[in-house]
Amino acid sequence: MDDRFNTEEAANYDDAIRRRIPLYREIQTLMASLLPFPKKEYLRVLDLGCGTGETSVSLLKEYPLARVTGIDSSPDMLDVARKKVKHTTWRVDFLCQDIRAFNLEGEFDVIVSGFSLHFLSPDEKEEILRKCLALLKDGGMFMDSEAVLLPSEKVYNMYMEKWKDFMRSNGFSDEEIGSHILKFLKDVKPMTVDNQLGLMRKAGFRDVECYFKYLNWAVFGGYK
């Protein structure tokens, strides 16, 4: 993926995304809490499109013996992530790689992705899902949070208005909101919940589920 963030944008990213995505913090906590492993397990975790490391940090807090490998294409975002984990660097490796062409060896207990895969086309996403399945240990879990498309235009438009209201309540001007939504519509390629679950099944995941959905945001999971 292209490096979408310069140094200033990366430094302000955490504040901006919390003011743009409803229940952002709660989604991070939910993804970590849904993992079906004992808290003292020595988990090996892959965080795809880790950005500033928010999902990685949530997992490290939930699982104190876990080791995380985070991959992102933005050096500036990774610099922010490294500062968050400077006291636990032995538990984290952040690598600058394009998630569409990442190269890793070994197996993982958990693979997560927070608000990254929705930038990919369905074909690109299916390819990454198959790659993730191959990297998971038997019984391992994949979790993904992303924007979703609504099958009803009427409901979709209503959700978009609710989303605008949320951003407005967090101090964004109408001009800023309009600019952000135009960028969102240009860059993001959301799927419906049913299509996302179907793509995960097609890639080979079992027991797939949409664990959470609020407006046009959702959390998905599946097992190997």
Lowest mean pLDDT among 20-29, 88-97, 183-192: 88-97
The ranges assigned to domains in the chain are 7-150+190-223
pLDDT of residue 1: 52
Distance CA 1, CA 51 (A): 12
The edge-to-edge listing of strands for the beta sheet with 108-114 is 92-96, 67-72, 44-48, 108-114, 136-147, 217-223, 206-214
Distance CA 199, CA 211 (A): 16
pLDDT of residue 114: 94
The hierarchical CATH code for the domain 7-150+190-223 is 3.40.50.150
Distance CA 10, CA 81 (A): 10
Rounded to 5 degrees, what are φ and ψ at 22?
Answer: -60, 140
What residue ranges in the chain does DSSP mark as E strands?
A: 44-48, 67-72, 92-96, 108-114, 136-147, 206-214, 217-223
**What would the mean pLDDT of 177-197 be, rounded to a whole number?**
95
**pTM, two decimal places:** 0.93
Find the helix or strand (DSSP H, E) in which 200 lies: helix 193-203
Helix 24-33 / helix 7-20 crossing angle, nearest 10 deg: 90
Give percent above pLDDT 90 in the chain: 83
pLDDT of residue 5: 63
197, 210 contact by CB (below 8 A): yes
pLDDT at 3 over 70: no
On average, the pLDDT of the chain sits at: 92
pLDDT at 118 over 90: yes
For residue range 144-174, list pLDDT tens digits in order: 999 999 989 999 999 999 999 999 999 999 9
Query: What is the CA 77 to chain-centroid distance, rounded?
Result: 14
pLDDT at 2 over 80: no
Q: Sorting pLDDT into bands at 50, 70 and 90, what band is 6?
A: low
